[in-house]
Each structure stands twice: as C-alpha cells, then as structure tokens.
Chain A
Amino acid sequence: MTAHDWWIIAPELAAAGLAALLVIADLALRNKRILAELAVIGLAAPLFFSLNLWFGWYGDTTDPSALFGAITADRFALFFHFLLIGVSAAVILASTKYLERMPGLRGEFLALMLFSMSGMMMLVSAKELVAIYVSLELTALPVAALAAFHRGARSVEAGLKFLVLSAIASALLLYGMVYIYGFTGSTNLEIILQRLNEIPSQPDQPFGSYGVLLGVVLIVAGFAFKMAVVPWQMWVPDVYEGSPTPLAAFLSVASKAAAFAVIIRVLYAAFGSEPLTQDWSGLIAALAAVTMTVGNLLALSQKNIKRLLGYSTVSQAGYMLAGVAAVSANSGSAGFIAGPQGVLYYLMGYAFTNLAVFLSVIAITHRTGNELISGLNGMGRRSPVVAMLLTVGLLSLLGVPPTVGFMSKAFVFSAAVNSGLIWLAVIGVVNTAVSAYYYLRIVRAMYFEEPSSDEPIRADLRALAATGTAAAGVAVFGIGPWFLLKLAEESLTIL
C-alpha cells in the first residue's frame, strides 16, 4: 500500500467516508434538514478524486491498478464513476421533499443510498473476483434495507423479495466464480484470460471445457439478477411498486449501469479471446432476445405506473444486452468495441432518460398519491412543465428521433447487425414498435384524458431542476451524440 494506491482508491473511499459521515451527522446534528444538502455537496469529493484520476492533476496516476491488481481506476471505471455520482446527486435532490415525510429516518436513507453507491463504484473498478463479489454485496444489501424502508406490508415484502432473490443470485454467481478460480488458479481477470489461453481446450466442448462453461453460465446468471434480465425479471415490478420511489429511480439507473459495467468487464477482460467470445456471445444474444420480448409483453397490461416502468426497464436491459452480445472481431481490431461502445452510450443516455421519467413521476405521484396510470389523466393541464419533461423521457425510452434513446438503439442494433446477429436486431425493432403502445398510453392519458380535478400541481424547485437537467440531457445528447460517443470510445481503450 503506497501513496499511489491511496490515490487510485480515493473515489471509493471518499464515497464510503461520505456515507459514514452522514451516519455520524445524523447522530450528532439536531437540524436534519441539511442532511440532503450535505450529501449532495459531499458528492463533490468522490467526483473530484475521479476527475483527478481522469486528468492526472495530483499524485502518480500513470499506472491505474492498485491493491495488487484488485482495483483499477482506468477510463472505463471512471466513466461509470461519473455516471453513478451524477445519478446519485440527481436522485437525492429530487427526493428531498419525499424524505420530509419520514423525518426520523432521513440520515439512514441517504447513508444507505451512498453506501450502495460506493459499492457500485467499487464494482465498476474491481478487476478481481473476490473484490467483485464483495462490492456486489455492498450494493445489494443497502438496497434491500431501503426497499423495506416504510415498514408497511408492501415495503417489507419488496425488501424481502429483493433480499432473498439477490442472495440466491449471489450464491449462483459465487459458485461460478469458484469454478473459474478452480480451473484457472487465479481470481484476477487478466490472469484468468492468460490461463484460459494456455490451457489446452477440448474443441468439442463449449468454452474449452465443461468446467469453464459452468462457471461462465453461473456468473452470467448471477449478474443477470442485478441487470434485471429474464429470468430474474420478477423482482423488478414488485420492488419498484413496494419501495420508496426515489429508490426505484436509483435502482433502475445506477444499479443497472454498475451491473452492465461489471459484466462487460468480466466477459471482455477474462473471456475476451477469440473462440470464447463466440461461445458467450450466443448465450447473451439469446438472453437479450428473451428479455426484451418478455419485458415488453408484460408491460402491456400494467395499470400501475411504477410496475409499468419496472417492466419497461426490463425490456431496456434486453436492448442493452444486444450490444454486449455484439462482439464481432478479434480483440484489438476496430470492430471489437463497437458493441460495448454502444452499450456505454446507451447506459449514459438511459440514465438521463430514466431519471427524467422517474423524477417526474415522483414529482406528480408525491402530490396526488395515486400511482395508477389513470392518476396522470390531464396532467398536461394541471402540471404542464412536469408533463412535458415526462413526455420527453417517454419518447426517448420509446426511441423517437431526435432523442438520445433513438441514437442509442441505433448504435446498439447496428453493432448487432455488424457482428452477424441480424435476427437479434430484427427482434429488437419489432419490440420497439410494440413498446410504443404502452409508452404512448401514458402520454395520451396526460394530454387527452379528462382530469379528476383541475387543481394545479406545483413541483418542488430542486426536484424540477434535477428533472429538467435530465430531460435536457436527453435532447442535447440525442441531437449531438459525438461527445458521449467519444467519451465511451476513450473509456474502452482497455479492451
């Protein structure tokens, strides 16, 4: 452990330290109103340390790997650090009004969310299986506690479902990791890749041997829970419906982004050599096709807006998986990163989009207390600004040009076509057409249905600022995607 190691892990340490500081402040301070502001301002610390690693202002940061190769601060990790910090700040800003309803527990809510965020930051930086597992649990356990936060019947049920399913998923993940460790003798992703190339492989067995096959399938199955991919889609709507809405926003964006980051890193770093990529590419492509279809079909019949958005995030995860599966050429060649680049762009755009949608839903349902789609009737008149922001978000989720959602789908599907997965792209386009039904149903309810009352709904200013920023991002990065694309490309230099 040298000074260099401290600089590398500084963002994660700062995030965890901020969470611990909030716990202490919650115990010590009488005025709990400032806790949310403290959290948002405090997020500047991990942001600063991440920016420092990106630009190399202070300290020796030329070698991004630290702690014996367990943690790295490469561009890929830093890209997700920025995303996670931004999402957390937006969710905290938008939930200050929401938190006032539970005065005694404000500190815990913020601290648990930040602990989960520090786990996610660890997860995207981890380059070693034990570190990945531990940070995965650090992201999951606070979320389970947060889901059960209201202590009502539904909230507790949501927490219980999340915890039990997450435990089963991590047991599967662990079993897979241990098999990979057993077959390669190492838990470091790069050494695993080396060893897999050295070990003579049986050509008749997928992945060179059935042991590695078992390991990879179980690892993918474990991460599939966090990505909310079929067959783990069942927890999503229940947890979104039962848990506090800010948590649902946090889960749907941050947790999903971290899970995609880690699965891209594991698949491309540890199993990224030529015969192996074809083996897992087929597996992921099948998973993607099933996920987008199932998510869409289940979303069609939903009446509760949070459940509908839950299934919508499932189908979005399916589209993103199509990008992960689109691995076409050898590592090092130009086409190799097209798929992951699309996914990174998709994740960034999806963060803006889904935040715009969820935060506007929070702003409305917090006032009306009605979470049914019919509760949004006539919002175009009652709350024109929020309704407009929500519409922008929904159009981007659907993928209407010129929003960021359209561009991300275009990149991901074209990457799939280029790597020979034309059938997958066709399924994706068909699914997009189907999803128009339920996304536009919400828009129709807001503008063409009669409201139950004409009383205008005024949103909290901070929440409006966060939602507006997200919606602006949807428009700006949809019209001019170059900045994000460049960022994503630069982040993928590790592959």
Chain B
Amino acid sequence: MTLENVLLLSAALFSIGIYGVMSRRSIITTLMSIELMFNAVVVAAIAFSRFTLPASLANVESPVQAAAVRLALTGHVFAVFIIAVAAAEVALGLAIVFALYRVRETTEITDAATMKN
C-alpha cells in the first residue's frame, strides 16, 4: 500500500460524492453524497499523516525523533474535527429537510425550488 494508492481512493470517493451531489434529486441522497466527500477528505488526511514526513525532517537519523514527528498526528486531529463537524452539518441538514417536508410534503430538490431569477 502506497500513498498514491490511498490518494487515488480518496480522489475516487470525492468524485463519486460530487457526482452524487450533482445528479441526485433526493435531498437525503445529496446529504449522503456530501458525507462521502467529507470521508474522502478524512481518508486523504489520514494517508498524509501516515505516509509523509515534513521534507526538512525526512532524513532524521534517530528513530525517536522520527517517531515524535509521526506522533505530531496533525492529520488525525484534522480527521477527528472533520468527523465531528460533518455530523453537526448532517444533523442540521436533516432538521431542515423535516421542516421542508412539513411545508411542502416532499424531499426532492427540484420540487423545493420556487425562487426564480
């Protein structure tokens, strides 16, 4: 497993997410696709955190220092925050979908749009 492979996976997930956002009419599916995009970012963040060292520190001799750099773990922190914020985002999205369902009896994006230029 190399960094390139994981980044390709992440890019594929992200693209699927974008495709889902653009092609689906159901708001629930749109929210799921957005979640997929966030998860693609999480995968990339973890991969970078796991596979890369800062360029200036790449040739560190002592294993202790290398381990300390790995333990910087910024990518993991990034991932944790993304997960938490994405959950809040989805919760708010679902709440708005309920509100929409109450007024319009629909969860389709195209039925929701009323405002025109």
Q: How far is the CA of A181 from the CA of B112 in the complex (A)?
A: 38
| Interface residue A494 (Cβ < 8 Å from any Cβ of B) | no
| Interface residue A426 (Cβ < 8 Å from any Cβ of B) | no
Q: Which of B44, B81, B89, B93 has the most C-beta atoms of chain A within 10 angstroms of its own C-beta?
A: B89
* A164 pairs with B34, CB closer than 8 A: yes
Q: How far is the CA of A338 from the CA of B30 in the complex (A)?
A: 43
A residues less than 8 Å from B52 (CB atoms): 182, 185
| Interface residue A171 (Cβ < 8 Å from any Cβ of B) | yes
Q: How far is the CA of A301 from the CA of B117 in the complex (A)?
A: 9
**A178 touching B45 in the complex, CB below 8 Å, given contacts A153-B104, A160-B27, A241-B115:** yes
* B96 pairs with A134, CB closer than 8 A: no
Task: Count residues of chain A with CB under 8 A from any CB of chain B.
Answer: 45
* B21 pairs with A168, CB closer than 8 A: yes
Return 26 A-B CB contacts under 8 Å, by A number: A129-B78, A130-B78, A137-B85, A137-B89, A141-B92, A144-B96, A145-B95, A151-B99, A151-B102, A153-B103, A157-B115, A159-B96, A164-B31, A167-B89, A171-B14, A171-B41, A175-B14, A175-B37, A175-B44, A178-B78, A181-B45, A184-B54, A187-B74, A198-B56, A241-B115, A242-B115
* A152 pairs with B41, CB closer than 8 A: no
| Interface residue A179 (Cβ < 8 Å from any Cβ of B) | yes
Task: Count residues of chain B with CB under 8 A from any CB of chain A.
Answer: 46
B14-42 Cβ-contact flags toward A at 8 Å (1 or 0): 10011001000001001100100110110
* B112 pairs with A157, CB closer than 8 A: yes
| Interface residue A257 (Cβ < 8 Å from any Cβ of B) | no
Among residues 81 to 102 in chain B, which have CB atoms less than 8 Å away from a CB atom of chain A?
81-82, 85, 88-89, 92-93, 95-97, 99-100, 102
A residues less than 8 Å from B62 (CB atoms): none
Among residues 295 to 343 in chain A, which have CB atoms less than 8 Å away from a CB atom of chain B?
298, 301-302, 307
**A156 touching B100 in the complex, CB below 8 Å, given contacts A164-B34, A178-B78:** yes
Residue of A nearest to B82 (CB): A174
Q: How far is the CA of A155 from the CA of B62 in the complex (A)?
A: 60
Q: How far is the CA of A284 from the CA of B30 in the complex (A)?
A: 30
**A133 touching B27 in the complex, CB below 8 Å, given contacts A141-B88, A151-B102, A159-B96:** no
A221-258 Cβ-contact flags toward B at 8 Å (1 or 0): 00000000000000001100110000000000000000
| Interface residue B64 (Cβ < 8 Å from any Cβ of A) | no
Q: Which of A134, A151, A168 has the most C-beta atoms of chain B within 10 angstroms of its own C-beta?
A: A168
Residue of A nearest to B40 (CB): A175
Residue of B nearest to A304 (CB): B115
| Interface residue A123 (Cβ < 8 Å from any Cβ of B) | no
| Interface residue A269 (Cβ < 8 Å from any Cβ of B) | no
| Interface residue A418 (Cβ < 8 Å from any Cβ of B) | no
Among residues 37 to 69 in chain A, which have CB atoms less than 8 Å away from a CB atom of chain B?
none
Residue of B nearest to A163 (CB): B93
B residues less than 8 Å from A307 (CB atoms): 117
Q: Which of A160, A195, A237, A301 contacts B100 (CB 8 A)?
A: A160
